[in-house]
Structure 1
Amino acid sequence: MAHSIGLAGYSNSGKTTLLSGLVVEMKRRGHRIAVMKHDAHGHYKEAVGADSTAFVDAGADAVITLSPDAVHVYERKNAPSLDEQLLAYRHLDYIFIEGFKREKHPKIAVYRTIEQSCIISEVVPAPIAIATDLAVQEAEGSYPQFNLNDIAGIADFIEQYFKDCQF
């Protein structure tokens, strides 16, 4: 069963940059990784001009593109469930989740500004760690804290977290 962990933060907080670095580091360590991103506003679009986009635009319920080294799936679903998708990729080692700040998986709160730091109190359940490039405030002292650029340290923390939890 894959270990699921999320990065929660506001736009421009550093989530995508941190997540991209974690994917590289965890792959370097030999792990199989999936990434799931929350598109809360429905902005995702297929690539303009691609055949698969034409099929989506035509109303296909599912479009599956098979390449020599990849499968891309587009499927229309009413209210898709994160849990359902996590089950579909349980054969991997880790599933990194960007967004979904109120779902039940463990999360690292990510922020770059004092204003964004309120994400700590909005994450449900409470975050298991903080990643920021700011000096951490005293009130945040109860969480393990990492610099956003400490990719190896955050990867070490994630691996140890799941070892300690005996998942």
Structure 2
Amino acid sequence: MPPPAKKITPPHKLEFATNSLRNTTLAVEDDRYYYEVVTRFWHPTVTKVNRLDPETRELRTVAEIDRTRGKEVKVRFLDSDSKDSGLGAWTKASEFVKYDQGGVGGTFAGPKGEEYRWKTHNRKLELIKADDEEKNPLVKYHHYKRHLFVWRMSRHAWLEVKPEMSDSMEKIIGKSHS
């Protein structure tokens, strides 16, 4: 009798709590992956992405996006190489993401140097590996739905994230908000 086939790990479903991209939470059902995206009124140009540590139940800033009026958008991420594990240096958004000319989307480098590309397919935002011939989406954005198109939401927006992208979630969330 052959061994049982390897079970495929289902994708993570990160659900948006609100429709605001600057003030929301994204979380899976069991809060194993829980991110808070917040822009404080006393600092309206900086959006912070905080991650909840499921063991200690503490929020930790993993990314910041600076949208100062009249200047280019800047981003910075948690620096795993630093001794105090603080945030790294500011990077211009145009250096972090290479936007496509005349279209929606662009490419950016992952934490291990691999290239990823945001693109639209049938008016849906997807993330694929830049060198993937089959263009299998690693992350898909699913839009929210409303009752009769105007009333309360019947389904929140959510990101479908494949398990192999778990270590890159800060960059995915930071990019989708910049």
Q: Normalising to structure 1: TM-score of the pair? A: 0.29
Q: Which has the higher strand share?
A: 2
Q: Normalising to structure 2: TM-score of the pair? A: 0.28
Q: Which has the higher contact order (CA 8 A, sep 6+)?
A: 1
Q: Which has the higher helix share?
A: 1
